[in-house]
Homo-oligomer: A and B are copies of this chain.
Amino acid sequence: MKVLILGGDGFCGWPTALHLSQVGHDVTIVDNLSRRFIDVELEVESLTPIRPIHERVAVWKEHTGKSIGFISLDIAREYDRLVAVLLELRPDAVVHFAEQRAAPYSMRTPATKRYTVDNNITGTHNLLCAIVESGLDVAVVHLGTMGVYGYGWSGSAPIPEGYLTVHVSTPDGAIEREILHPANPGSVYHMTKTLDQLLFAFYAKNDGIRVIDLHQGIVWGTETPETGIDERLINRFDYDGDYGTVLNRFIMQAAVGHPLTVHGTGGQTRAFIHIRDTVRCIEIALDNPPAKGERVSVFNQVTETYRVRDLADLVSKLTGAEIAYLPNPRKEAADNDLDVTRDRFLALGLNPTMLGEGLVEETKGIGVKYASRADFSKIVAKTVWKAGMEVAPDLMR
């Protein structure tokens, strides 16, 4: 299958590109390298020493003989080139990772709020519009987020996969409807993914675009079998307060001797998935697109749920690291339960990688190996959801 991977240089995109190439797809990465530019802006780097994109694809070719194309293109700003790329390559599918994906960054400043909305919405809409203009039948696999659902909305009912059955009273008695699950995003970033859903629904209805929207949990881990082939293929590892994800931050903090930073009570339950399963889920999604004219197909791309403070306790127990409870810079509930339906990927053969000592150790290995690259002044989360909220000072220098 010929696949374009938008955002194929990023944390999820790069291992996905390698995995899809490995299993035999003809892969081309489209990326504007925005994530690397944001590293420059935030004055922080991936803990792992990622190589330039041209070197990455050359090393992949060297080891496997497989070519991955690379096109430097901003889908939100270069619409005409996007159409030209579609018409030239005529892909069977596009995997769309090309969105600003950090909630804290999306709340950092007016400029980053606006960048997140402009980049994500204009980019997604340009993609849909370009596919219609091209006249091609290109399936779209999009990375959504569990955060579109919000947390704790539906009482004891597990969060369904995209669509919720509701009953509505009418003068003629109650009627049943299946609706897109009501949106309750917790940041500008999450909000953009709720807007994306409406873009997809419209273009599926009006133009018959085939879309799979994957509502992913928090990704942890770094390496996949493919990124582990050569150090020059290594995936990025973010540990800073804006881009670092909670479990990877704990593991890295333990490795470098920093207290585990729990912002708030840690009573929030969140959904998780290992990066190895992310790439496998994308592969499965590509093999199972909706038929033309069907509604958007939604999967919950999640394998486990954990309460944040339980994760901290687990990592603390495994490593001896202490836990620091810091002010919460987010506006969110102090506690929530979370039960997520995740049947669709399991039914299609996903064999999940569960959180266990071995995997934590593997990831910790990266923390230890690259500890000297860490900047302790970037660890404590400083981005507040609203002006005036309290932030913690740095814990180590």
Q: Which residues of A contact B (CB under 8 A)?
A: 79, 83, 110, 113-114, 117-118, 121-122, 125-126, 129-130, 132-133, 135, 153-157, 164-172, 174-175, 177, 179-180, 182-183, 185, 188, 191, 194-195, 198-199, 201-202, 205-207, 331, 385-387
A129 to B166, CA, bound (A): 34
Q: Which residues of B contact A132 (CB under 8 A)?
A: 110
Q: Does the CB pair A191–B202 fall under 8 Å?
A: yes
Identical chains in the assembly: 2
- The contact sample of 15 A-B pairs, CB cut-off 8 A, is A110-B129, A110-B130, A121-B121, A153-B177, A157-B168, A157-B169, A166-B168, A167-B174, A183-B198, A185-B198, A191-B198, A195-B198, A206-B385, A206-B386, A207-B386
Per the bound structure, the CA–CA distance linking A391 and B19 in Å amounts to: 47
For the complex of A and B, list the 8 residue pairs with the smallest distance between their C-beta atoms, beginning with the closest: A166-B166, A157-B170, A167-B167, A179-B182, A156-B170, A156-B172, A191-B202, A155-B170
Q: Which residues on the B side are within 8 Å of A177 (C-beta)?
A: 153-154, 182
Q: A191-B202, A195-B121 are in contact. Are A164 and B168 (CB under 8 A)?
A: yes
How far apart are the CA atoms of A174 and B179 in the complex, in Å? 16
Residues of the B chain whose Cβ atoms lie less than 8 Å from the Cβ of A188: 202
A153 cross-chain contacts in B, Cβ below 8 A: 177
Q: How far is the CA of A172 from the CA of B175 in the complex (A)?
A: 21
| Closest residue of B by beta carbon distance from A182 | B179
Cα distance A169–B167 in the bound complex, in angstroms: 9
Say yes or no: A168 contacts B180, CB within 8 Å. no
Which B residues are in CB contact (< 8 Å) with A387? 135
Write the nearest CB–CB distance from A137 to chain B, whole angstroms: 13
Q: A168, B194: Cβ atoms under 8 Å?
A: no
Does B156 contact A171, Cβ atoms closer than 8 Å? yes
Could you tell me the distance in whole angstroms from the C-beta of A191 to the nearest C-beta in chain B? Answer: 5
Question: Please, which residues of chain B bring their CB within 8 A of the CB of A121?
Answer: 117, 121, 195
Taking CB atoms, residues of chain B closer than 8 Å to A130 are 110
A130 to B118 CA separation, bound complex (whole angstroms): 15
Complexed CA–CA distance, A130 and B121 (Å)? 19
- Contact partners of A179 in chain B: CB under 8 A: 166, 182
Interface pair A175/B154, CB less than 8 Å apart: yes
Q: Kindly list chain B residues whose C-beta atoms are within 8 Å of the C-beta of A183.
A: 180, 198, 201
* Chain B residue at minimal CB-CB distance from A135: B387
Contact present for B182 and A155 (CB under 8 Å): no
Name A113's closest neighbour in chain B (CB-CB). Answer: B129
How long is the Cα–Cα vector from A321 to B321 in the complex, in angstroms?
A: 84
Q: Which residues of B contact A167 (CB under 8 A)?
A: 166-168, 174
For A331, what are the chain B residues with a Cβ–Cβ distance below 8 Å?
205-206
Q: With A and B bound together, what is the CA distance between A188 and B129 in angstroms?
A: 10
User: How many angstroms between the C-alpha atoms of A130 and B331 in the bound complex?
Assistant: 20
Asked if A175 meets B191 with Cβ closer than 8 Å, knowing A129-B114, A133-B110, A166-B167, the reply is no
Query: Are A171 and B198 in contact, with the CB atoms below 8 A?
Result: no
Interface pair A170/B198, CB less than 8 Å apart: no
Cα separation A155 to B170 with both chains bound (whole Å):
7
Quick check: B168 and A168 within 8 Å, CB to CB?
Answer: no
Closest B-chain residue to A121, C-beta based?
A: B121
Given A122-B122, A195-B199, 19 extra CB contacts under 8 A: A110-B132, A118-B122, A154-B168, A154-B175, A155-B168, A155-B170, A155-B175, A157-B168, A157-B169, A157-B170, A164-B168, A166-B168, A166-B179, A167-B167, A167-B174, A185-B202, A191-B198, A195-B195, A206-B331
